[in-house]
Structures are given as structure tokens and as C-alpha cells.
Amino acid sequence: MTLTTGEVGTLTLPSTLLASAAPAAPITVDDVEFEILYTHSLEAWITAVLPPEWPHSGVLSGGDDAVLAYAPLPPSSDLTDTPPADSQPIDADSSISHTSDATRSSLPPWSNKRVHEAGVTAILPLTITLPQLTGHESNTAGTTHVCLTGSYDDTLRILSVPDGVAVRQPRVLHEVGLGGGVWRIKVLGSNTSRKSEGEDDGEGQGVGAGSWEYNATLLVSCMYAGAKVVEIKGVAQKGGEGLEGGALDWTWTSREVGKMEEHESMCYACDAQAPGDDSGHENGDRMVVSCSFYDKRLCLWKWPSVGT
């Protein structure tokens, strides 16, 4: 979890709360333990736990200091340790920093301030699994891990992020300006397909020639620009060694396909009807809800269903 005082950490609930649906007594601040992983120099706005299928585990966080940072989660046995008293803010003037496990609670293994031009407000890790060529024992040709981020700089970005030990910068794969601060991002639907058939590389491993296409539709809360629907497309081709996705070279594009402009204040949150929930559907449309801050407005609207 993140705090407006800049801390990023884990909150441990008492076992009595986890063991029963209704605790016998109210839970107080003395019943929980908060372990600080590291501290942003300004407000920490967002954190995201990396999915289990990623090659490394941990959390990404973003703050008003324009820093994107990563830290591994402590082992479960460490979650009840006393939070460190010497946690220091991330150096906002440093583009990237690294620390050993011994100082994990003071600074993250890496932090980056070069990618975003203002506060980091949205983080969404994605896993893209590509279908294998016909006749292969495996069902997949490879897996790519990317991260979507949003910022007060009005930009939605697709990033390749380093793992917990790699000494390298996050890499911007694609970015698009949306006219308003990107506060939250939600995937409405996605699909992956073979774009061309191609031949096997003849080596019995890796991916064959040809290309794959990944498409996703995003629902984005864009603050003063309202709610927007954005489509992103990635085309993967067999490329040089060392590229993300097991020697796959990705080219990304995006386009804005819809927006809700009835909000008269900052749109901070959007959500959509769950895929497969047919209640309220008309002509295959999904219900979408968006809300804004000072005008206290909630808008209910429809968007065509997309593949999941």
C-alpha cells in the first residue's frame, strides 16, 4: 500500500481477522503492522504487485516525485518484523539507484525519474502470451511482460521494466498523449493472434519466423480530459537476442477510439461491466461507469463489448 506521506509498504492483518468473517472486536491501528519497503520523497500515489507469471516478484510504485520504483516483497516470515526507523526518501535527483538486500527497507533496488515528466499515478503490469506455430508441442511461442503507466504529464506509456537485479533503465516502448493526467488504467478486453504463418527456425527452440499481433482496449481515467477508451496494438516479430519476450521485437501503436466528456471536474475512476455478465447488455454493449471529483458526478454509459 502507499501513503500520501510517501511510504510504500505492506500491511499485516491479525490472524484473528483472517480466520473469521466477523471479528469479535473492532480492529484498531494497534492490531495491524505496517512494514515500510521504501519512501518516495513526495506523495506515493500508486502501487502494483507484479503478477505471479512474471519472471520476478515484487511491487512497482509511483509517486508525486515522478519516480517509478521497484522493490521485492519481503518473505512472509518477515511481515511481522518491526518497521525500520531509518527508512529514507528516494533521492529525487537520481535517475536510477540500486541497493543491496541489506538496505532494502531504506531504498528500492532501483528507481527511475527519467521516464515520466511529472508524478506517476497509474501502474498496470501486463502478461502477453503468444500462440505457438502449428505442430509444436508447446501451446505458446513466448511470453512478454510489459507495464502500462500513467502520469500527471498527460501521457500513457508502455514500458519494459528491469527485473529485481538487472542494472538497466526501464525502456519506453510506446507513449501517447491523452490531453489529461492519466490517473487509472483498466483493460476492457484483449486478444492475441498469429499475423502471418512463417516457418520454423529449424533449431527446435525459440519462435519461428513470422509475426504475432496483440490488441487491447483500455478504459482510462484522464482527470480533466474525462474518461477515454484507447486501443493499443503490438506487433511482435522474431528479432535479435536480448529483446523482451524471448528474442521478439515489438512495434507498438495506439489510438483513441472513444471518450466521455460530461464530467466537469477531474475524472478519477472508471469501471466496466465484467465480461460475461449479460445483465443490462443491449446489442452486445457493456455498461461503463465513470466519476469525477468536485462536481460529484457519476456517469453511466455504454461501450461495445470487446474480446477478452
pLDDT tens-digit readout, 226-237: 999 999 999 988
Extract long-range pairs of 161-167: CB within 8 Å, 24+ residues apart.
161/60, 161/68, 161/70, 162/70, 162/110, 163/55, 163/56, 164/56, 164/57, 164/58, 164/70, 164/72, 164/109, 165/56, 165/109, 167/98, 167/110
Percent of the chain whose pLDDT exceeds 70: 68
pLDDT at site 199: 42
Instruction: Convert the pLDDT of each residue in 128-155 to its tens digit.
Output: 988 764 444 455 557 889 999 999 999 9
pLDDT digits (tens, 9 = 90+) for 202-212: 433 334 456 88
pLDDT at 305 over 90: no
**Cell matching residue 95:** 535517475
Candidates 125, 128, 104; CA nearest to 56 is: 125
Q: Does residue 94 register a pLDDT over 50?
A: no
How confident is residue 245, by pLDDT bands cut at 50, 70 and 90?
very low
Q: Is the pLDDT of residue 43 over 90?
A: yes
Higher pLDDT, 307 or 231: 231
Estimate to the nearest angstrom the gap between the alpha carbon of 25 and the chain centroid: 36
Helix (H) or strand (E) holding 163: none
Average pLDDT over residues 235-245: 59
More confident residue, 62 or 207: 62
pLDDT (average), residues 72-82: 54
Report, as an integer, the average pLDDT of 43-65: 92
Q: pLDDT value at position 308?
A: 40
What pLDDT score does 125 carry?
Answer: 96
What pLDDT, on the 0 to 100 scale, is given for residue 211?
Answer: 81
Q: Which amino acid type is present at position 162? A: P
Do the beta carbons of residue 298 and residue 262 sit within 8 Å?
no
Q: Which of 119, 128, 121 has its CA nearest to residue 252?
A: 128
Name which residue leads in pLDDT, 138 or 252: 252
Q: Alpha carbon of 186 to those of 126, 208, 215, 274: distances in Å?
A: 11, 32, 14, 12
- Output the average pLDDT for the chain: 78
What pLDDT, on the 0 to 100 scale, is given for residue 68?
A: 95
Question: What pLDDT score was predicted for residue 12?
Answer: 82
